[in-house]
Amino acid sequence: MYFVFKEIVRMPAIEVGRICVKQVGRESGKKCVVIDVMDKSFALVTGPKKVTGIKRRRVNINHVMPLQDKIEVKRGASDEEVAQVLEAAGKLQEMTQPVKTA
């Protein structure tokens, strides 16, 4: 009997540049970008507000769902820098569309 084990590639759940979906609150279903990881419980995210309507704020990491998409932004980037990187990556239109949450 032979067993074949697949190697599972895991992504870091919350990291700078990761695109996430907010799951709790009035902004639930909207996409945001992680700008900074404060500690094991909180992260700083932004929409940016002009793109998705999410302003820069601290969120509990249990209230956001990370997606596969990631953009290259520096830690603590401004909203304008994030918007430029999203536009360059071609994800600006994708960010404006809300996601249906459970």
So what's the pLDDT on residue 93? 92
The average confidence (pLDDT) of the chain is 89
Residue 100 in domain: no
Tokens representing 57 are: 């704020």
Residue 12 in domain: no
Q: Taking 70 as the threshold, does the pLDDT of residue 31 lie above it?
A: yes
Average pLDDT value for residue range 30-55 = 94
The pairing of beta strand 64-70 with beta strand 57-60: unpaired
Residue 10 in domain: no
| pLDDT tens, position by position, 14-24 | 999 999 999 99
Total domains in the fold of the chain? 1
Which of the four pLDDT bands, split at 50, 70 and 90, describes residue 8?
Answer: low
Residue 49 in domain: yes
Residue 6 in domain: no
Residue 40 in domain: yes
Q: Taking 60 as the threshold, does the pLDDT of residue 29 lie above it?
A: yes
Q: Taking 80 as the threshold, does the pLDDT of residue 4 lie above it?
A: no
Q: Taking 70 as the threshold, does the pLDDT of residue 11 lie above it?
A: no
Domain coverage including residue 78: 18-93
CB-based burial of residue 102 (10 Å sphere; 0-12 exposed, 13-18 middle, 19+ buried)?
exposed
Residue 60 in domain: yes
Task: Give the torsion sign (CA, 85, 75, 27, 14).
Answer: positive
Q: Hey, what amino acid is at 47?
A: G
So what's the pLDDT on residue 2? 62
CATH number at residue 35: 2.30.30.30
Q: Which residues of 76-88 are buried (b: 16+ CB within 10 A; e: fewer)?
A: ebebeebbebbee
Q: Hey, what amino acid is at 51?
A: V
Residue 84 in domain: yes
Write the DSSP string, 35-51: EEE-SSSEEEEE--TTT
Q: Taking 60 as the threshold, does the pLDDT of residue 82 lie above it?
A: yes
